[in-house]
A = this chain, B = another copy of it.
Amino acid sequence: MDNRLDRIKAEQLKGRVVTAEEAASWIQDGMTLGLSGFTHAGDAKAVPLALAKRAESELFKVNVFTGASLGSNIDTVFAQSGIVHKRLPFQSDPVMRRKINEGEILYTDHHLSHTAELVRDGVIGPVDFAIIEAISITKDGMIIPTTSVGNSAIFVEHAKNVIVEINTEQPERLYRLHDIYDTGKHEGRLPIPLTHVADRIGSNGIPVDMEKVRGIVFTDQIDSPSKIVPPDSETEAIASHLLELLRSEIRAGRLTERLAPIQSGVGSVANSALHGLIDSEFHDLEMYSEVLQDAVFDLIDADKLRFASGSAISLSREKMEQVYANFGKYEDKIILRPQEITNHPALIRRLGLIAVNTALEFDIYGNVNSTHISGTKMMNGIGGSGDFARNARLSIFVTKATAKDGKISSVVPFVSHVDHTEHDVDVLITEHGYADLRGLAPRERTALVIENCADPTYRPQLRSYYQEALTRGGHTPHVLEKAFSWHLRLAEKGSMLEE
């Protein structure tokens, strides 16, 4: 007998096992799919890949909703096969990015805490098939997710049909990892009862109407590892300026050495910033974040981190092997929740988070662009950065001061796209220093941004823009006809630097 069936504890579902190909054959042109998956973690793999295979001999389009970015090459294959009509709420795949920027794939880039509300209210959807990776299905028909929760619960609740992919490579021991809470509809909604990072407020798994479970597929493909670039001298400098800022908050009596729950954006710069905490004096830290990256587990190993709440565990290959081989060491210190809860404005504000997110560029007044290259080309998406920046106690954006060997300045006169307005940005950090903009009028911010954050080669240009802007006046002085001159120079001459 197939002992994989032990993973299906609900007797009435044991007979619903099918192949990935069969499950994929149910999906029809024009349908909307709700896939598990968040930053390469816990994505449904077998059915999506079988579906893309169908496109070799068939013409059809589907809408693809997920938690966030998918791994396992799925977004690449989806984009190449031309089957995606609309994609939301986040992606980070190079091929898909190109198709989005060519206008071939429609992309709705929204705050990650909003997807659940939009599905619940029927603004987007209906979801025809929820396809969810799981470690098991319980006796009473709860789906236990794997390494991410993302939007899986809301997709399952609202989908017409559910396909479960049971990944037998994921240890059953993960069953205590998740905490599934549903806010319910607006009418009669109660306060979310979470008051501490480690609180459990929901169920162990995703409740599902078993009638809707159309099929169960077995897989054994592990998550794609994340590609974390190791810290370099610039990211180390950014980390040290972050520590400097936190120390000055302690001196001002606003924080203690236990800090406050930390949220850290995805990627190498944010990961390095967290790494900086390992050798610091801070202790008994907590995270209330979206993605738990390598640094989170390093902080636990270093006995610096008491607890981490997230929506996904996204690790490098090396870290993945180490963490899952020693999971007992971590399981009481981490929890995964729906992204509506990890990113919920009420909880971010209530817990008073320190939010660290990555900027693509920022301007002399503190507006941040985190998505669009030169205002037009989508990079990845806003993800959860807006959820956190808007409601955190301390909203910090980090970036290297230049890109492309100094040809691009991350500090510009006027950002070419705004994802985070001056009202939602407290502190900017580059390898050169930090600018604390809280409580400052626009004219008070410029010197801090230019002198503390911009690359020295770009400072004279920024000063001269601001001096000219001052002759025009206004609360936020600008020379509108030159506002985008830096981006135009880059397009024309290959560099933002004046000759």
Query: Which chain A residues have a beta carbon within 8 Å of chain B's beta carbons?
Result: 86, 88, 100-103, 106-111, 117-118, 121-124, 186-193, 195, 252-254, 260, 344-346, 349-352, 367, 372, 374-378, 382, 386, 390-391, 393, 416-421, 423-424, 438-441, 443-444, 469-470, 472-478, 480-481, 483-484, 487-488, 491
Give the Cβ gap from A286 to chain B, nearest Cβ, in Å.
Answer: 12
Give the Cβ gap from A480 to chain B, nearest Cβ, in Å.
Answer: 5
* Residues of chain B with a CB closer than 8 A to A444's CB: 106
Contact B186 A376 (CB under 8 A): no
In the complex, A376→B352 CA distance in Å?
32
Contact B346 A416 (CB under 8 A): no
Instruction: Please list 16 pairs of residues, one from A and one from B, whose beta carbons are closer than 8 Å in the complex, sorted by A's number.
Output: A109-B475, A110-B423, A117-B393, A122-B254, A187-B352, A191-B346, A191-B350, A345-B345, A346-B346, A376-B473, A376-B476, A376-B477, A386-B423, A418-B418, A420-B421, A421-B421
Contact A382 B186 (CB under 8 A): no
Contact B191 A193 (CB under 8 A): yes
* Residues of chain B with a CB closer than 8 A to A483's CB: 375, 484
Contact B472 A111 (CB under 8 A): no
Contact A375 B476 (CB under 8 A): yes
In the complex, A391→B101 CA distance in Å?
29
Q: Do most interface residues of chain A lie in helix, strand or loop, or is the interface mixed?
A: loop
Give the Cβ gap from A365 to chain B, nearest Cβ, in Å.
Answer: 9
Contact A123 B254 (CB under 8 A): yes
If the complex has contacts A375-B478, A476-B372, A478-B375, are A109 and B423 also in contact, measured as CB distance less than 8 A? yes
* Residues of chain B with a CB closer than 8 A to A382's CB: 423
Give the Cβ gap from A250 to chain B, nearest Cβ, in Å.
Answer: 13
Beta-carbon nearest neighbor of A470 in chain B: B103
Give the Cβ gap from A497 to chain B, nearest Cβ, in Å.
Answer: 18
Contact B474 A481 (CB under 8 A): no
In the complex, A129→B404 CA distance in Å?
52
Contact A107 B475 (CB under 8 A): yes
Contact A393 B254 (CB under 8 A): no
In the complex, A439→B107 CA distance in Å?
9
In the complex, A109→B192 CA distance in Å?
31
